[in-house]
Amino acid sequence: MEKASLLSFVSLTDGQLSKLQAVSPHLEILQQPEARAADLSEEVRRRVEILYGQKPSMLDAHLFPRLKWIQLNSAGFDYMRSNPVWQLDLPITTVRGIHIIPVSELALALIFAFRWKLRDLLRFQARAEWPQNRWEIFFVPELYGSTIGIVGYGVIGRELARQAQALGMRVLVVNHSGRRYPMRDEISSTVGDPEAAIPEKIYPTSGLLDMLPECDYVVAVAPSTDQSRHLFDTEAFAQMKRSAVFINVGRGALIDEAALIAALCQGQIAGAGLDVFEEEPLPASSPLWQMDNVILSPHIGGISARHHDRACEVLAENLRRYFHHEPLLNLVDRVRGY
């Protein structure tokens, strides 16, 4: 049997290489960290059957004539839509699910930051000031007994729900269908809420405006699709409590940023914690940088010291499935957009 050549644009450790090579003796692994297809010889490009990597290397995926499968080293794949391979009958898979822990931790960190007014604390510390009216400043409702609304109930939303429940929060959810369904065939099915048992109520996307008035914290973790673009618009922010905090650790396209800025300026909502934006890096001209009721992070939710090991686990499992002609994990649905 002829060997299948996998080209990795990611630098693999010896341990990761051993894990992958153990999948099949018919696997050949080539490494060209951070390279572009134009840097490779035609002979190498003709050998490659499987590509593993992320932007910008994957923008050249169409230059591999024998390519049969693309495994991304990321959960996001929007940039692939403009690639010629998007139009081909070629499977594209992601590492969706490996960011469950860091993204949900960041969402929770932002929630805690608003609960305890972290920006105020840091300002007082910088001025070496002990505020005389600290009872008034920090008289904020506890998380215990408050309501969190999670928009998007994939693996990250389910882990955040588990954490919120452990803090005594009431959990409401919006997903596409409004139904409870179990998560199957996931690498990290041992965390979160695989049976969707935690939420008090699950609303369909069309019911978002019904859920928002109930929530003290709203966290967006939904995928970016044509249907979810600007899901949070002027009408959505108008339905939220004036005391509510909005958190986005999903995709920047979920928000109409102009509507969010207006809602923050007009006091329609109390604050926002944002890790993702419509344009990244966020332009220096954006008013969000200067707003006292906003906490910004530079799209760091997926960063973890365990990222590459977890991604390698997905790749190894998908390689096993590939050689056994089984359905691949995290296959991108070009129609649904996730």
Render pLDDT for 291-333 as a digit per residue (tens, 0 to 9).
Answer: 999 999 999 999 999 999 999 999 999 999 999 999 999 999 9
Q: How confident is the model at residue 186 (pLDDT cuts 50, 70, 90)?
A: low
**Average pLDDT of the chain to the nearest whole number:** 95
User: 318 Cβ partners below 8 Å, 6+ apart?
Assistant: 71, 93, 328, 329, 330
Q: Is the pLDDT of residue 236 over 70?
A: yes
Q: Is the pLDDT of residue 199 over 60?
A: yes
Q: Is the pLDDT of residue 190 over 70?
A: no
Mean pLDDT of 239-262: 98
Least confident of 17-26, 184-193, 222-231, 241-250: 184-193
* Backbone phi, psi, residue 247, to 5°: -125, 130
**Element counts in the chain: helices (H) and strands (E):** 10, 12
Which pLDDT does position 52 carry in this prediction?
Answer: 98
Whether 234 and 262 have beta carbons less than 8 Å apart is answered as yes
Which part of the chain is CATH 3.40.50.720? Answer: 4-98+305-323, 100-296
Q: Is the pLDDT of residue 106 over 80?
A: yes
- Note the pTM of the prediction, 2 decimals: 0.92
Alpha helices (runs of H) in the chain, residue ranges in sequence order = 14-21, 42-47, 100-115, 118-126, 134-137, 155-166, 208-211, 234-239, 257-265, 307-323
Q: Is the pLDDT of residue 162 over 70?
A: yes
Q: How confident is the model at residue 81 (pLDDT cuts 50, 70, 90)?
A: confident
Q: Is the pLDDT of residue 338 over 80?
A: no
Mean pLDDT of 35-63: 92
Q: Which amino acid is at 313?
A: E
Active site members: 251, 280, 299
Which pLDDT does position 187 carry in this prediction?
Answer: 59
d(CA 25, CA 337): 35
Q: How confident is the model at residue 183 (pLDDT cuts 50, 70, 90)?
A: confident
Q: Is the pLDDT of residue 78 over 90?
A: no
Q: Which CATH number fits domain 100-296: 3.30.450.40, 3.40.50.300, 3.30.70.360, 3.40.50.720?
A: 3.40.50.720
Q: Is the pLDDT of residue 138 over 80?
A: yes
The more confidently predicted of residues 260 and 186 is 260
- ∠ at Cα 52 (158, 27), nearest 5°? 115
d(CA 330, CA 94): 6
Which pLDDT does position 189 carry in this prediction?
Answer: 60
What is the percent of the chain with per-residue pLDDT over 70, rounded to a whole number?
Answer: 98
The 3-state secondary structure of 215-283 reads: CCEEEECCCCCCCCCCCECHHHHHHCCCCCEEEECCCHHHECHHHHHHHHHCCCCCEEEECCCCCCCCC
Mean pLDDT of 120-144: 97
Which pLDDT does position 88 carry in this prediction?
Answer: 87
Q: How confident is the model at residue 59 (pLDDT cuts 50, 70, 90)?
A: confident
CA 3 to chain centre: 34
Mapped onto helix, strand or coil, the DSSP state of residue 75 is coil
Which pLDDT does position 90 carry in this prediction?
Answer: 94
Q: State which fold the 4-98+305-323 domain adopts.
A: Rossmann fold (3.40.50)
Which pLDDT does position 188 carry in this prediction?
Answer: 53
d(CA 8, CA 72): 10
Q: How confident is the model at residue 242 (pLDDT cuts 50, 70, 90)?
A: very high
